[in-house]
Amino acid sequence: MVAMSDQTPQLSPSDLCRSCGLCCDGTLFGKVRLQPQDSPEPLRVAGIMVTSDHRGSLFKLACAAHQHGCCQVYASRPSNCRSYECKLLRRFKKGAVTWAEAAAQIDRLRRLREQLGREVERLRPAMGRASVAEIVQIVPPFARLAGDAELHKRWAPVLLRLVALRRLGLEGFHASRRPAQPEHLQR
């Protein structure tokens, strides 16, 4: 049984994911790849824009089917969504982390993501809700930042939050530098 703090009612792993959604909302990953067995039709019906590249079909995160903490295509969700369990979820299932600790970790990452969104919106108003992976793409290259103090000053709050997000994401949610499932959601 999962250890709980005195005041905390017994909460399940599904409750944890419902309270989180960081693997669906563009915080931890930038896209989801479909596998040959996945049908894109139910996803399109739910408003997800499925596209393709040289490796096959995919869609970008934040996922349009992630609404109010729930997956609106749960029964038809892609196999990579189905199989994915982050490090935090696995630790919670084993009782290695309490609900309160897990909730605090989720909250920290979510607040950081919101701060990042606000900083990006200040610089690029249309990109405030972009995935973290997309935000990384618009940061000026290091060589330009290093040679332009004004540019560096403008981007510093974004850079600081990106570094903190990456660290918290890797430490708390990914088992290693690669996601648990090699073909899962990719940055």
Residue 187 Cβ, how far from ligand SF4 at the closest point, in Å? 14
For the chain, the first-to-last Cα distance in angstroms comes to 34
34 binds ligand SF4 (CB under 6 A): no
The residue (of 33 and 66) whose beta carbon lies closer to ligand SF4 is 66
DSSP string, 120-138: HHHH-GGGTTS-HHHHHHH
Q: How far is the CB of 26 from ligand SF4 (least distance, A)?
A: 9
The CA distance from 137 to 127, in Å, is 11
Q: Is 16 in the site for ligand SF4 (CB under 6 A)?
A: yes
Q: Is the CB of 102 or the CB of 158 nearer to ligand SF4?
A: 102
Q: How many CA atoms lie within 13 A of 110 on its CB side?
A: 13
Span from 76-84, 146-154, 155-163, 164-172 in contact with ligand SF4 (CB under 6 A): 76-84
Pick the piece of the chain touching ligand SF4 (CB under 6 A) from 58-66, 93-101, 151-159, 163-171.
58-66
How far apart CA 118 and CA 121 sit, in angstroms, is 5
Binding of ligand SF4 by 11 (CB under 6 A): no
Within a 10 A sphere around the Cβ of 93, how many other Cβ atoms? 14
Q: Which of 48, 158 has the CB closer to ligand SF4?
A: 48
Residue 182 CB, shortest distance to ligand SF4, in Å, is: 16
For residue 36, give the 3-state DSSP assignment.
Answer: coil
Q: State yes or no: residue 165 binds ligand SF4 (CB under 6 A).
A: no
Helix 99-123 vs helix 149-172: crossing angle, to nearest 10: 160
Q: How far apart are CA 89 and CA 174, in angstroms?
A: 10
Which residues would be at the binding site for ligand SF4 (CB under 6 A)?
A: 16-17, 20-24, 28, 32, 63, 65-66, 71, 73, 77-78, 81, 84-86, 88-89, 173
